[in-house]
Amino acid sequence: MYLSRAVKDAGHDMQCVSLPDPKWMQKIRDYDPDVITWSLMTGNHRPIYDLNRLLKRKFDFFSLMGGPHVTFLPDAVKDPAIDAICIGEGEGAIVDLLNALEKGEEWRGIQNLAWCDDGEEIIKNPLRPLVKDLDALGIPDRSVIYDAQTVYRDSPRKVMVSQRGCPMMCTFCFHHAWKEKVYNVKNSEYVRKRSVSHIIEEALDIKSKYPLDFVHFVDDIFNISGKWLAEFCERWPKEVGIPFDVILMANMTNENHIKQLKAAGCIYARIAFEAANDHMRNTIYRKNTQREQLVNVSGWIKKHGIRLGSLNMLGGPGATVQDDMDTVLLNIECKVDHPLCSIVQPYPEFELNKITQDMGIAVAEYDNFPTQFNREGTIEIKDKHAIENLHKWFPILVRHPFMMPVAKWTLRKRWLARPLLWTYMLYSEWLVTEQNMLYNRAQGNRGILTWAPIDFTLRVISKGVIRVLSLVGAKVVSKLALRLQMGDERVVAHMD
């Protein structure tokens, strides 16, 4: 959305194709783009490489790739089907590239771009400074996504982001690597917050064009500035007046923050627990949070009537099944309403990746990296299958601790992996239904469609339909991939 805003403000045009789409190839043919861009994360990179090669054989365009995967692993540009990659922030680079291509000028000196003409030597241009004033980027262009995918456009709940950067040094997150290895800057340059006025302007802009009755703020730490938070909580209910949810950092949160958020319309707040074990949480993950802080903030959130969510990780390097079970028990102790859990994934250039390498349990090939972090582990740890099964039990046990004996009996039963996955998926949908009930109450919505059993049933059915359509779309792509002897299984996995 930000890239599209920059492109359009510079006088160019941009459209998006959302896969699966039975007409995706025809749409590209009709639009006839000069440039096709891709954003990659480790895990979805291989199918994107495959699709890019497929399109290169059919159309004439400049291929530009960006995102965390190529930023940390720029060797991708050795692929002759990739013309350039963008390292780091891309708003300035993409506009300079389009301007150069339009005028027939040399583009290889553009900052943030890397290229390789001979398939061997990679040329990485210097990086331009990080964008200091996020407000100056303008309002993100939501039409580029909403025109391509009506599901996002028609949803009354929209995602907003109020900042870039994070001051924490969590070993499992891209921020420390982006900050130190890519830009080599301090927090004063790296952590940037949009003004409250700009956030409100965007919310009102969305409200004037699309359905909007709830906002998900997905900033890593919403309350990173007490002064900013106070202004936001004072103005949001008066000028926007719709409920929202946030992510908070336990060691930066006090009870007054919770009071302010409650008064402003916050109905759901997530706290990063990650692990109950102090060594795992603070030495391995470098969260710099104490158990007492997690318990206190959780108590304040519950005390002031806000739904409590938690973020957790299982399968850390050196962790045992009991360590991960202790994380379940911490969530139970804090009476978490909506426990969210993932399995540790040491992405390239992250400090966690270095830790797993030193322990001899690192991911061998990034091409085999999973696209989803809530299915299976990637590092070779003891009792891996038991931890994967515990992950599927996690939200159920937090909410229904009496199931613990049954869960413990199943942990080492590999044949139960698939049934447990189905149970996990269904229960996760029920937790979302609970959220919907909360949203509907906050908005004063009534009617049969807001009833929990109806909402849950419709949600499961709609997800099933989407999955079937995805599989159909995947078959179309995989047939094209097979013709080119590409990794069709990887394409199917991506489309799925």
**Cα three-residue angle 105-109-115, rounded to 5 degrees:** 105
Question: What is the C-alpha separation between 236 and 241, in angstroms, rounded?
Answer: 6
Q: Which residues of the chain have pLDDT under 70?
A: 364, 368-375, 463-496
* 261 Cβ contact list (under 8 Å, min separation 6): 223, 229, 233, 246, 269, 306
* 16 Cβ contact list (under 8 Å, min separation 6): 4, 144, 145, 147, 148, 149
The neighbour count for residue 407, using CB atoms within 10 Å, is 20
pLDDT of 470 reads 56
pTM of the model: 0.88
Among residues 331, 459, 347, 302, the alpha carbon closest in space to that of 390 is found at 331
Contact, 386 vs 322, CB < 8 A?
no
Residue type at 40 in one-letter notation: L
Among 3.40.50.300, 3.40.109.10, 3.20.20.70, 3.20.20.150, what is the CATH number of 155-428? 3.20.20.70
pLDDT of 465 reads 64
DSSP bridge partners of 123: 115
The neighbour count for residue 395, using CB atoms within 10 Å, is 24
Instruction: Kindly report whether the peptide bond that precedes residue 20 is cis, defined as omega within 30 degrees of 0.
Output: yes
CA dihedral 359, 331, 408, 283 (to 10 degrees): 10
The neighbour count for residue 475, using CB atoms within 10 Å, is 15
pLDDT of 468 reads 61
3-class DSSP state of 138: coil
pLDDT of 14 reads 97
Question: What is the C-alpha separation between 251 and 256, in angstroms, rounded?
Answer: 14
The fold adopted by the segment(s) 2-124 is Rossmann fold (3.40.50)
The DSSP string of 29-69 is HHH--SEEEEE--TTTHHHHHHHHHHHHHH---EEEEESHH
Domain locations in the chain as residue ranges? 2-124, 155-428, 458-495
Question: What is the C-alpha separation between 169 and 289, in angstroms, rounded?
Answer: 12
3-class DSSP state of 481: helix
